[in-house]
Amino acid sequence: MPILTYELGTRTTPNDRSTTGARDGYVAAIIKQDSDLRPAQVYSELAANRLAQFLGLPVAVGVAVQSRRTTDSLRFASLKAAESGLDYYDFTDHDASFDDDGDDGIVPGMHVESGHVSALQRVCQRFPLETAQIAVFDLWIGNDDRPGNLKAELSEDSFGAIFAMDQGASLLSCTDRRPLALELLRSADFPRFHAFQKLVASLYCGEMIERITAIPDWAMYAAMTFDDNVGSVTIAEQYEVCEILKDRRRFLRELVERVLL
């Protein structure tokens, strides 16, 4: 897959201890925190991001961050993709959502509620493997917030860059109330829709299900559990949601067939 690069600040200074000419600098990021709307956003972004990296998905990398003021709570930094020189279609642009000529027609059953209708069809044609991978992953982690959280080069002669971002509405953050989030995650009926539904190929979805099913337990724990609270999410809750995700694999195929195919 094309390498996804991130935006480096213009000013860097020599690192005193480096023997190879390394420099100190800053990388741009979108910084996210827990809120009433998304009380477990930091944990959910972090855990989903680590799972996505393990699975080799084209998702913007994110890390836990803390400012030098040690009283500051943990936040999540989604590293800002370097977009200059690339011709990304911006699914995150609300204004463009309904500015759609619909020339390509509508595939029966596809997701039309968030607009970008012909762009959704084009992205799934241009990137059949990546979109299938992202869609299956989203169903697994309980993320129905994919419309509006993707950027991709759509023209056939482009370099072919695509990346997903913002898994802040997944896992324990799939709704604003913790008990309900756990209940939804335990349910084989959730999520009920996906931005790429009816636009992805069953072969690629099947391959992704296999990949998710094959994740070893150690990798699940490494991605999803930590030695400390993450924002408002306790260690016990981290293990609880990890067990639920392990279990969700039992009905992932059925969920994919119902929602995506």
Ligand X SMILES: Nc1ncnc2c1ncn2[C@@H]1O[C@H](COP(=O)(O)OP(=O)(O)OP(=O)(O)O)[C@@H](O)[C@H]1O
Number of residues that bind Mg ion (CB under 5 A): 2
Binding of residue 42 to ligand X (CB under 6 A): no
Q: Which listed option, Mg ion, ligand X, none, makes contact with residue 172 (CB within 5 to 8 Å by class)?
A: none
Q: Which listed option, ligand X, Mg ion, none, makes contact with residue 81 (CB within 5 to 8 Å by class)?
A: ligand X
Q: Give the shortest CB-79-to-ligand X separation in angstroms.
A: 6
- Rounded CA-CA distance 98/117 in Å is 8
Number of residues that bind ligand X (CB under 6 A): 13
Token pair listed for 160: 């072919």
- Three-state DSSP class for residue 29: strand
- Rounded CA-CA distance 94/114 in Å is 9
Q: Which CB atom, from 153 or from 166, has the smaller least distance to ligand X?
A: 166
Decide: 162 and 58 in contact? Cβ < 8 Å: yes
- Rounded CA-CA distance 156/130 in Å is 15
Binding of residue 153 to Mg ion (CB under 5 A): no
Site string for ligand X, 122-161 (x = CB under 6 A): --------------------------xx------------
Distance from chain centroid for Cα 221: 18
Q: Which listed option, Mg ion, ligand X, none, makes contact with residue 30 (CB within 5 to 8 Å by class)?
A: ligand X
Binding residues for ligand X restricted to 45-64, rule: CB under 6 A:
60
Contacts of residues 225-231 at CB distance under 8 Å and 24 or more positions apart, as own/partner, are 230/42, 230/43, 230/46, 230/64, 230/74, 231/33, 231/34, 231/39, 231/40, 231/41, 231/42, 231/43, 231/73, 231/74
Range in contact with ligand X (rule: CB under 6 A) among 74-82, 104-112, 118-126, 193-201: 74-82
Task: Count the Cβ atoms, other than its own, within 10 Å of residue 91.
Answer: 24
Q: Give the shortest CB-30-to-ligand X separation in angstroms.
A: 4
Q: Give the shortest CB-145-to-Mg ion separation in angstroms.
A: 7
Site string for ligand X, 214-243 (x = CB under 6 A): ------------------------------
Contacts (Cβ under 8 Å, ≥6 apart) of 94: 148
10 Å CB burial of residue 229 (0-12, 13-18, 19+) is middle
Binder to Mg ion among 166, 209, 233, 237 (CB under 5 A)?
166
Binder to ligand X among 80, 178, 246, 249 (CB under 6 A)?
80
Binding of residue 171 to ligand X (CB under 6 A): no
Output DSSP code: residue 85. T
Residues that bind Mg ion (CB under 5 A): 149, 166
Residues that bind ligand X (CB under 6 A): 30, 32, 60, 78-81, 92, 148-149, 165-166, 168
